[in-house]
Amino acid sequence: MPEVSDPKRDQRDDTEVFSIGTILVKMRAVSREEVRRVLEEQSKMSSDELLGELLVRRGIITEAQLEVALDAQRGLRSRKPHVRALAAADLASRASSGVRNLTARVGEAISDSRRKRTGEAYPAVTALLLAEKKDA
C-alpha cells in the first residue's frame, strides 16, 4: 500500500508524545499527584527503574494496568494511522468510563446529603422529632 503522508500530522505527532504517566492518568489508574510524587522519588534514586515499574512496586497500579498502558502507548506512537486511531479510541473509552463512575459517585453523594437533610436517612429519629414537635 502506498504511504500517504500528511506533513501537518507528522509534525504534530513528533510533538504530541504520550508518556506512560499521562496515559495512566487518562486511564484513571493514578492521579496526577501520585505520578508527580513518584517522578520526584525517581529523580532522587540512583537506579534506572522506570516510572511504570515504580508505580507497580509501590502498589499504586497493577501489572495488568501497566501492560494496558504500555499497549496504548505503543499504539499511540504507531506510524500506522488505524493502529493510532484505535489506541486513541480505546483510551477515550476508558476515560469516559472513569467519568461515568465518578458521575455515579457524585449522584450518590447528592442523594445521601438530601436524605440526611430531609431526615430520610434516620427515619426513627425523624419520627421522634416530629412527635416532639407535635406535642410542643
Partner 1 sequence: MDALFTGLLKSGAPWGILCAALLAAVVALWRRSVQLSDKLYDLATSQVKQSAEVHGTLTNALKELEELRRCLK
**88 belongs to the binding site for partner 1 (CB under 8 A):** yes
Cα 133 to the chain's mean position, in Å? Answer: 49
Query: Exposure of 99 by Cβ count < 10 A (0-12 exposed, 13-18 middle, 19+ buried)?
Result: exposed
Q: Residue 32 CB, nearest distance to partner 1 (Å)?
A: 10
How many angstroms separate the first and last alpha carbons of the chain?
87
To which residue does cell 467519568 refer? 99
Question: Stretches 49-57, 58-66, 82-90, 118-126: which one binds partner 1 (CB under 8 A)?
Answer: 82-90
Contact in structure between 38 and 54 (CB atoms under 8 Å): yes
**Closer by beta carbon to partner 1, 2 or else 59:** 2
- Interface with partner 1 includes 134 (CB under 8 A)? no
Q: Which of residues 94-133 bind partner 1 (CB under 8 A)?
A: 95-96, 98-99, 102-103, 105-106, 109-110, 112-113, 116-117
* DSSP category for residue 59: T
Per-residue binding string, partner 1, 19-58, x by CB under 8 A, is ------xx-x------------------------------
Q: Write phi, then psi, for 69 (nearest 5 degrees).
A: -65, -40
Nearer to partner 1 among residue 37 and residue 94 (C-beta): 94
